[in-house]
Amino acid sequence: MSLPLFLVDALPTGSTHVLDGPEGHHAATVQRLRVGEELLLADGRGGTATAVVTAAGRGTLDLRIVSTGYVKAPDPRLVVIQGIAKGERGELAVQAMTEAGVDEIVPWAASRSVVQWRGDRGDRARDRWVTTAREAAKQARRPWLPLVAPASTTREAAARATLVLHEEAKDRLTTVDLPPTGEIALVVGPEGGIAPEELATFEAADARPVRLGDAVLRTSTAGVAALAVLSARLGRW
């Protein structure tokens, strides 16, 4: 079984470390790790450390650092420009895409998005996506935390878009050429799909429409399905 992973602001520089705060509470109180058990620490930027529990307190663990390491950032980066969805569907998409290896998620304020992120409401919604991505990264034992960017307009999204998932596209994601380095930014529409004028904007910016197959997937599942295809094609999986 994989070792549990806990996130820290910075990796320990010495041979010992005290894990406290929310992560210490989760490790000591929720998961009830005890003396002699091993765990992983990660800084979310590729740095990792394997540690052994030497003492357990209320909400804290004393650790002995066994080894440290560094995992290089994936290249090309996988970015999903995700149409903002209502309710829990957006957070479900973020969770699944993080587990599938997305490197950055860009919330997209599409014209057919039922929910629009404005003001404090938008800040809270993005914070939920950030928290969801963080917890999913821990669950998946990822040394790199995916970035959740600020909400993007269609023109801002088009400036980064490489591929656009669209049910009427002629090309399949399994066969189009992929860049060997840099980033691949894939657009996923909201529940109502991508409006014709939005598709035209993406195409004018040289983003290529692609489809997965004949079935039309929900906005909460299309991104993770596409990431699975890309990860297999790029040798990540």
Q: pLDDT digits over 174-229, tens only?
A: 999 999 999 999 999 998 899 999 999 999 999 999 999 888 889 999 999 999 99
Q: CA-CA distance, 209 to 162, in Å (whole number)?
A: 9
Q: In order of start, what are the domains of the chain with their CATH numbers?
A: 5-70 (2.40.240.20), 77-233 (3.40.1280.10)
Question: At 92, is the secondary structure helix, strand, or coil?
Answer: helix
Nearest to 7 by CA among 104, 130, 119: 130
67, two tokens: 């080894």
**Using an 8 Å Cβ cutoff, are 205 and 168 in contact?**
no
b/e map 15-48, b = 16+ CB within 10 Å: eebebeeebbbbbbeeeebeeebebbbbbbeebb
Percent of the chain with pLDDT over 70: 100
Q: pLDDT digits over 6-34, tens only?
A: 999 999 999 999 999 999 999 999 999 99
pTM assigned to the model:
0.92
198, two tokens: 């939005």
